[in-house]
A and B are shown apart, each in its own frame.
Chain A
């Protein structure tokens, strides 16, 4: 496991090479560095995993690379920590990451800024790996902010269009709101526990905190706010749909498979604190439930293929939060893994379609593509089947486990379960609406499918993995608390499988056979509009925060405090004019002043003497 530092190290070296060699490397060399560094990191991950799984090996590994921050009592190391949870994340980040890099090397080939693209991508992977491997929360925060910046840079990659820049800044600033809460959470955690070292926190939190007391509740709330921002959950979810302005491989890597799941990782990583705050855990479950439902409804009538996928990502991360909240910790990470596979697959397939249609993303202009684009079609079918959780795809195993666990929860259990199943039903409708609109019906355009070793192989590998990943076993069992025991009644499983099938049936009737048109949202324009705009959060925030801030900034642009010195200047000018008028050079005025002053002084003198 001593090679661990190479895993984030190699992508970082790749980044530096690509930046310093700016404009000097050929495209092939840039590709070699950009993709190669991640691929080797993936291979080293396998090597480390072999060590990890070998009999008798330690189940945790901590190494300090160098002391980072040493001031008084505070000691923060630049150190890595490997356990089952971080290893699972390593698989996702380096595995899915290298497949996406591979794909991106073809997707971006025509772009004039090929090298800059891979520099950002490598930096992103390095930061994401630091986030996952950090042995303390400050270093985790470094990775956390690092991925945020790379997300900003990559959303705004095509900087010529100001709309992309706007989307990039929106993503960065909205997540920064969460990050600020996260940082305050760290300050509070340090005050209460005197350390920010993750293994120590896991030991100290249960010892020092009383379950349900104020401190753990407040800390967990602040950490949750950070997680909510990064993972695009309510109420900080508004940035993710706009983030689709970035190139499609970016959406696959950052805004589906890895960065947006960092919030889930954070909560799982600090579960020791969250377990002391049951109220916050309940809030996690509610946030997940609301997000998965609201983004599901929003996805129902989007017209941009990437926006549908973006809302579905929010919805699926909602399931992960939901799982964390109901105590299905390992199941949440498992869903994180399967979702990374099938959502990366869906995004990359969408990317192939977008390229084939010359950067067309409007699904109303697509149709009948299944014959012209057979490989993307089958990949999309597999990805959608996973998303809808049809047995026996990986999505079925992970989602089923979450729903079962939610049923076990005392008091709210069946309600949570019902919400989750309703979400699955909606998921089925919107995913197959998308599938049917794009691949079935009349052929509207003539696609030019991008082919070659960079396009089909990564898709096929991911599709295969998505199908079989349900049988994988992640080594999170020793790290995370076990989920509630017991089995829900049989009928719940039948319903959980049946409802998505019903959803697919409805989508088929409406969008392929053009029946049941009464169900189409087009008949309820106001509702359609409301859902289309994502329940109006954007407008609300604009009115609540954006407009007041910008208008205040404009009104006080010249700094009202600067009026004080200006006032002083004007006062002295005024006095200057006043007194300079006395000095007018006219003899009669001087005599008159002198005389009247003399009279006044005399009068005063006499009156005081008289007393």
Chain B
């Protein structure tokens, strides 16, 4: 029941925030914080229960209530270690995004927090829905509020960016819906039963050419979300135009739903098709890694630069998932968490700088170290995390992905490893143009971090360091789920 508690407290908090928002924006903020806290309490209890029984049971079943009986659709919510880790990431980044919204979002607060908490609830649902139809519902639940966050509270070009985001994701999720129905029909033909349950559908024989087409339907939807080359173009616009909390949610969590989909659905449902398609997917992954890194280097808009680094890092995820061995999958999980934390940090910093300097252009910055030593130091940590410095979580992810991929496709791993050279090229450009050198123009009014901002960034830095030195905190939880996914993915 704890999972339902998380989702309901987030949804309920959102409704309450909307109702109070008109009268008191402050109250809507605190209500959102309270609902996050309640959700975290439920989560802690869930974590304790699940890790306690880690060795005995893979899944924690939460609900399995009939919904649309005619088609075998259930309200089926269940969590394994993988879901658990990603829901944890969602809640942590929820706090970070909330803290970044605290002073940045000043109009229509109630509506904002409604959308904010509904997005979180949608993501939690995505990570725990094991009925494909329910998964699709949550997929849409997180999409629409995110669209509104960009369109209403975004920056100068928000309408265009929001529309682009919506069309890309909506068109691709339509493909997924079609593929989903196709899979259910296939299963119905084989067994005579209607079911949308993941547990049932993983038993479906999807070895034919039909399986390949259905797999591609899912793959494209998740690749758009990830995003990977060549369907990544919504992301730079959406990230740049979204308000800071929006960017944090997008980069930190929403991209991970794409990776999660590849892990949870594409391989286990279509093992043969995925295996046959793996070389192409890995090739696209390598291309994403290198191409986006090169693009990031050339950007002058700080948020756009960070957006391209996300594409580069998600290329590693693509690579790791399609190598499909234990090392690369564990690395993928770590990469998702590490990237979530580090990109959230970078976007938070871009937001803080924009508040203070009223610009995102790197050539308008410079010399900020002397003015804001704390902000500069923390930016350095996130830049180092992004470039994969050992001792921070991202290194563990990239290293294990490459180590795993190398065992199968040495060339793909070696090419992707070139990102180790390109990453410092773009990450250090941020530091050089933003913080080193002499100050440009009058920035004497720029203030260093206050306590709230320090808390927000400190939370991320501590998590990054903790996971960099004790990655087993996550690996012990995800080892069994990863093995079971691998087992399913190797079937057929």
Tell me if A159 and B400 are in contact (CB < 8 A). Answer: no
Question: When A156-B436, A176-B421, A187-B413 are in contact, do A564 and B295 touch as well, CB less than 8 Å?
Answer: no
Q: Quick check: is A589 within 8 A (CB to CB) of the other chain?
A: no
| Docked-complex contact A78 and B428, CB < 8 angstroms | no
Query: Is B432's CB under 8 angstroms from A169's CB?
Result: yes
Complex interface residues of chain B between 349 and 377 (CB less than 8 A to chain A): 367, 369-370, 373-374, 377
Interface status of A552 (Cβ within 8 A of chain B): yes
Chain A residues near B437 (CB-CB < 8 A): 159-162, 165
Closest to A156 in B: B436
Q: Do B420 and A71 touch (CB < 8 A)? A: no
Contact A165 B472 (CB under 8 A): no
Asked whether any CB of chain B lies closer than 8 Å to the CB of A22, the reply is yes
Rounded to whole angstroms, the CA-CA distance of A500 and B380 in the bound complex is: 47
> Would you call A68 an interface residue if the criterion is a C-beta within 8 Å of the partner chain's C-beta atoms?
yes
Q: Report yes or no: A173 in contact with B424, Cβ–Cβ below 8 A.
A: yes
Q: Is B438 an interface residue (CB 8 A)?
A: yes
Given known contacts A23-B373, A74-B327, A183-B402, is B233 in contact with A559 (CB within 8 Å)? Answer: yes
CA distance A188 to B409 in the complex (A): 11
Residues of A within 8 A of B407 (CB): 187, 190-191
Known: A69-B396, A165-B436, A557-B298. A180 touches B417 (CB 8 A): yes
A153: chain B residues at CB < 8 Å are 380
The answer to whether B406 and A188 touch across the interface, beta carbons within 8 angstroms, is yes
Which residue in B327, B389, B413, B414 is a CB contact (below 8 Å) of A71? B327
- Please state if B436 and A162 are interface contacts (CB–CB under 8 Å): yes
Q: How far is the CB of A373 from chain B (nearest CB, A)?
A: 34
CB contact between A183 and one of B369, B384, B399 (< 8 Å): that residue: B399
Indicate whether B390 reaches chain A with its CB closer than 8 angstroms.
Answer: yes
- Tell whether, in the assembled complex, residue B230 and residue A190 are in contact, meaning their CB atoms are under 8 Å apart: no
Quick one: closest B residue to A22, CB to CB? Answer: B373
> Which listed residue, B230, B377, B425, B436, touches A561 by the CB 8 Å rule?
B230
- Interface check A556, CB cutoff 8 A: yes
Chain B residues bordering chain A, tally (CB within 8 A): 57
Complex-state Cα separation, A106 to B436, whole angstroms: 25
Query: Do residues A146 and B390 form an inter-chain contact, with CB atoms below 8 A?
Result: yes
B43 within 8 A of A: no
Which residues does chain B contribute within 8 Å of A187, judged by CB atoms? 402-403, 406-407, 410, 413, 417
Given contacts A146-B390, A184-B413, A553-B295, contact A162 B432 (CB under 8 A): yes
How many residues on the A side are at the interface (Cβ–Cβ under 8 A)? 54
Given A180-B421, A549-B294, CB of A557 within 8 Å of CB of B299:
yes
Give every chain B residue within 8 A of A552 (Cβ-Cβ): 294
Q: Which of A19, A68, A183 has a CB less than 8 Å from the CB of B469?
A: A68
Decide: A71 near B367, CB < 8 A? Known: A165-B437, A556-B298: no
The answer on a CB contact under 8 Å between B469 and A159 is no
* Cα(A561)–Cα(B288), bound, Å: 12
Instruction: List B contacts of A169 (CB < 8 A).
Output: 424, 428, 432
Q: Which residues of B contact A610 (CB under 8 A)?
A: none
A95→B410 CA distance, assembly (Å): 42
Residues on A with C-beta less than 8 A from B295 are 553, 556-557, 559
Q: How far is the CA of A41 from the CA of B18 in the complex (A)?
A: 58
* A64-83 interface code vs B (CB 8 A; 1 in, 0 out): 00111111111000100000
Instruction: Give me the interface of B with A, judged by CB distance under 8 Å.
Output: 164, 229-230, 232-233, 236, 294-295, 297-299, 325-327, 330-331, 367, 369-370, 373-374, 377, 380, 384, 389-391, 395-396, 399-400, 402-403, 406-407, 410, 413-414, 417-418, 420-421, 424-425, 428, 432, 435-438, 469-472, 475-476, 479
A-B contact pairs, 10 of them (CB 8 A): A23-B373, A71-B327, A72-B325, A72-B330, A74-B400, A138-B399, A159-B369, A176-B420, A554-B298, A557-B298
